[in-house]
Every structure is written in structure tokens, then in C-alpha cells.
Amino acid sequence: MRNIKLIYKSVFIQPLLALLVASLFLLIPKDIQAKTVAFDPDEALQLSRDAIGRQIDSYTFRNRAGRQLKLLDITKEKPYILSLVYTSCYHTCSVATRSLADIVEKARDTYGSDSFNVVTIGFDTRFDKPRTMNSFAKQQDLENEANWYFLSGTKKTVEKLIKNVGFTYLPSPRGFDHLVQATVVAADGKIYRQVYGETIPTPLLLEPLKELILGQPPAAETLVENVIRKVRFFCTSYDPTQDAYRFDFSLFIGMFIGGTIILTGFYTVFIEIRKNKRLS
């Protein structure tokens, strides 16, 4: 009886399973089949780094309500962080988005809630539509987050953006293999920094934001605003004990006291020299 079962399994069941697998594979779109090759992290990393300094074009997407928005209009001439996800991802994209949200909260506490924007775009255009991007935002508890946009686009638009920012993804049995990256974009639309990982160390993201927000003068800045911005830039530092950036007056006060002592010393020497000249 056991031999009969084995023969039945080898003759009927295994061929049927093989036929089923082959049929399922044929149901996958041809463009997806062509991409099912091994993901090369080193190559993906190099493509990403090569995009630094590149200008991002003004692509048109749809927000969670289905309204069309241009990427340049969303950024409002401010720096922004761009992340790419796919909403059916059961682990990596959610973890990376929540990690990004924690750092964004720290950055807004430091630099101001309106000083930069965040843009999350779904790259799996078959499923990442306005409704699913809205659901993804709710799952991450970010549906009411100000200045954070969850967008979807056509396959053509998303593919152009992906190439523009140096992002790589390939289909896999788990969904997609892709580089987990956050792209920091300057106010002029140029890629300033690429940051990698599901959980990003705070300084890796807040330091480039600091340089863009406080280190570069905006248009039509007054002299007083320039001085305040420079003071904030030099006095904002990372506190590893709190894992946050904070505005520390002590450095500025120390510089002021040191400068005062030096000037007082020069003034004292100058007075003594003049006094000696009079006596002579």
C-alpha cells in the first residue's frame, strides 16, 4: 500500500504541483518576470550614492485624497526627506517608516515644525494607490502628521523618479528586495544626502537637515535673521544621552566670555603702552 501511494504521488501529484507553479508564474506580468534576478546590495548602494548632487524633476503624483500634486509644489522651496515604500510590505517598510517618524519628530522639535517636509511614495504602482497609501499612513499613525505627504503615481512617473534618486528594487518571493534609504533633498531640488537602514541613527539624518535649514541662508534674509541663524547653527549640537539635538547657549556664552577676556587683555596692554609713552 505504501509503495502504491509513493507511485501515485510521483506520477500524479508532483507533476500537478509543477504545472500549478508554472501556471502561477505565467500569471506574473512579463516586466516583473524579467526583473526576477538576484538583488545586488553593493550595486544598489553605488547607484544610490551616484545620485547625490542630482536635480530631482517636478513629477506629478496623487495624494491620499486622489488630488494631483506636483513634487516641487509640495516641497514649497524647503528641504525635504523622500522615502520609497510598498504598502503590502509586512515588515521592513513599516519599521523604516516608524523609525523615520521618530527622527522627524526630533528634527521638528529642534528646527521647527514647518522647517522641512517629508514625502513617502509607493513604488509598487499595481497596488500603491491613493486609498492604500492612506491606509498605510493610518497604520503608521501618521495620517494627521503635518507636512508629511503619502503619494502614489503612474508606473511611468514612479520609474522616472526611482531612476532619478538612484533607488533599486527587484521582485522576490517576499515581495520586493530593495535598498532601504531616506533621501535628503535641498530646497533647490538637488539630492544632498542618502541615508540607509531600517533604523537610522539620529545624527545621520538630523545633521544634513541642520546644514540645510540653519547652514544655508534663505533668500531675502535680513542681517538680524542672518546673525540669529548662525548662532542657532553653531549652538545646536547632538546630545547622545538624550539621543536628540538641542540648542545649547553654553558654547555661545563661552565664546562671548572668551572674546571679552581677549579684548579686555588687548585694551589693558594698549592703555599701558600709552601710559608708558606719556611718562617717557
Kindly report the pTM of this predicted structure. 0.70
In a domain, 253, yes or no: no
- Pairwise CA distance, residues 135 & 133, whole Å: 5
Report helix, strand or coil for 220. coil
Residue 115 forms part of a structural domain:
yes
Dig out the grid coordinates for 143 from the structure. Answer: 495620517
Specify whether 73 is located in the same domain as 150: yes
What integer pLDDT is reported at residue 98 of this predicted model? 95
**Over residues 19-28, mean pLDDT:** 44
State whether 22 and 154 are in the same domain: no
pLDDT given for residue 214 in this prediction: 81
Distance CA 149, CA 69 (A): 10
- 82 vs 73, higher pLDDT: 82
Same domain, 148 and 14: no
pLDDT number for residue 138:
96
**Number of domains present in the structure of the chain:** 2
Answer with the residue of higher pLDDT: 263 or 139.
139
Does residue 258 fall inside a structural domain?
A: no
| Residue at grid coordinates 530631482 | 56
Domain assignment present for 59: yes
Q: What is the per-residue pLDDT for 268?
A: 72
Same-domain pairing of 24 and 100: no
Residue 43 burial (C-beta neighbours within 10 Å; 0-12, 13-18, 19+): exposed
Last residue of a domain, one of 184, 200, 216: 200
238: in domain:
no
Does pLDDT of 255 surpass 90?
A: no
Q: What is the pLDDT of residues 200-254, one digit of tens each?
A: 888 889 899 988 988 765 555 555 445 444 555 445 555 565 556 555 545 555 5
Closest CA to 183 of 90, 62, 85: 85
Q: Are residues 48 and 171 in the same domain?
A: yes
Do 54 and 163 belong together in one domain?
yes
Q: Based on the domain organization, do 14 and 87 belong to the same domain? A: no
Which CATH number does the domain housing residue 120 bear? Answer: 3.40.30.10
Statement to judge: residues 87 and 23 lie in one domain: no
Of residues 221, 28, 180, the one with CA closest to residue 98 = 180
Mean pLDDT computed over 168-178: 89
- Domain range for 155: 41-200
Share of the chain above pLDDT 70, in %: 65
Do the Cβ atoms of 81 and 100 come closer than 8 Å? yes
